[in-house]
Amino acid sequence: MRLPDILSTHDPLLASELAQAIDNKTKPLGSLGALETLARQIGLIQQTTRVALHKPAILVFAADHGVVAEGVSAYPQSVTWQMVENFLSRGAAINVFARQNGCALQIIDAGVNHDFGKRAALMDCKVARGTANFAQQAAMSWAECAAALAHGMRIVGNLEGNVIGFGEMGIGNTTAAAALMHKLTGVPVAHCVGAGTGLSIEGVLHKQSVIEAAVTLHGDMSEPLDILATFGGFEIAMIVGAMLKAAERRMVLLIDGFIVSSALLVAARMQPAILDYCVFSHCSDEAGHARMLEHFHARPLLNLGLRLGEGTGCALALPLLHAAVNFLGEMATFQSARVSGQSA
């Protein structure tokens, strides 16, 4: 399987042209703050000062995790498929926010422990009915991990737009994400683990002990795909493949919260230049996400105390991308305003 090669967006000449275009707008220098940074980033991604967004899409990948057998979640595994049904009936938060902001939404079964049958609104990419319990063995085989990566790349390869957001659903996936975070950043497990779907303090401590024991069980490893296959989930692996392909295609990548950021940890270890394409939508209230953002040297667009997942942060941040693109494309410059005033 060939993994995408990602080029840096670094282009000093274009960066200078973008800075001049932004600074010449009818406003004090730097007064649009993060929107100016965002406009520059989008311009470098798209390799032009005439930036545009078209057909934004959010992909929500769902899968189950064998590690829930260790009692690491406040909810039973069946909630995963029940939430997928909620997505399909358009009743979840991500449905509301995507609809509100004119964003296409695709739900993908990456490995849910449930038979949905053939459903028009559900993309069936099921690798298996959930991962194995990584507290006892590797979550995925190499073949399963490769299949998940390939599905993610294929899905993004077929998209028409130039903006993509990533969401997820999977009971137990904060445990997988915390394990990935620990292995890929070196941050102590205690600082990676949070309440997830609502664990008590005792539950969080138990989750921490499960991860620490699993880390000891599997021993030292440093290759990102080894770490992904050992501790990840099918939805996380599929997001990794999707991210890599999206950056190869020079799309704008909207990064959601804790789980999606754990997939980015894997992707960025493989292809560091992918970070040039990433817009961090928000800082999740899930413990550990702020430290992930520090690891990426990222400044999120929003801080609303969200910890729902589903790609909700991406949908809520999308209007800010439109604002950045629109001010760069439509706002008057001092020169054009002066000419207009003289004409009047």
- Averaged pLDDT for residues 180-191: 97
| Contact residues for 111 (Cβ-Cβ < 8 A; gap 6+) | 62, 63, 64, 126, 127, 128, 129, 130, 131, 148, 233, 234, 235
DSSP lists the bridge partners of residue 253 as: 164, 278
Is residue 315 within 8 A of residue 103, CB to CB? The reply is: yes
Tokens 């439509």 belong to residue? 330
Per DSSP, the three-state class of 262 is helix
Residue among 171, 84, 86 nearest 125 (CA): 84
Output the pLDDT for position 335.
Answer: 79
**pLDDT for 226:** 98
The residues near 330 (Cβ < 8 Å, ≥ 6 apart) are none
Dump pLDDT digits (tens) for 41-74.
999 999 999 999 999 999 999 999 999 999 999 8
> pLDDT exceeding 90 applies to what percent of the chain?
92
Is 310 designated active site? yes
Average pLDDT over residues 204-219: 96
pLDDT at 65: 98
Which amino acid appears at position 310 of this protein?
E
pLDDT band, very low/low/confident/very high, at 339 (cuts 50, 70, 90): low
Instruction: Write the pLDDT tens digit of every residue in 110-135.
Output: 999 999 999 999 999 999 999 999 99
Q: Which of 167, 180, 223, 225 is CA-nearest to residue 1?
A: 225
pLDDT score at 196:
73
CA distance linking residue 183 with residue 186, whole number of Å = 6
Q: pLDDT tens for residues 275-300?
A: 999 999 999 999 899 999 999 999 99
- What would the mean pLDDT of 145-158 be, rounded to a whole number? 98
**Mean pLDDT score of the chain, rounded to an integer?**
95
Using a 10 angstrom Cβ sphere, with 0-12 exposed, 13-18 middle and 19 or more buried, the burial of residue 232 is buried
Residue whose token pair is 């390869």: 157
Residue 341 pLDDT > 80: no
Catalytic residue, candidates 70, 235, 286, 310 = 310
Tokens of 55: 């057909």
Q: Residue 122 gets which letter from DSSP? A: E
Check residue 231 and give its pLDDT: 98
Mean pLDDT (whole number) for 295-317: 96
Q: In the beta sheet, which residues pair with residue 61? A: 108, 168
Query: What would the two tokens of residue 50 be?
Result: 């005439």
Confidence of residue 338 (pLDDT cuts 50, 70, 90): low
Q: Which residues pair with 169 in a beta bridge?
A: 62
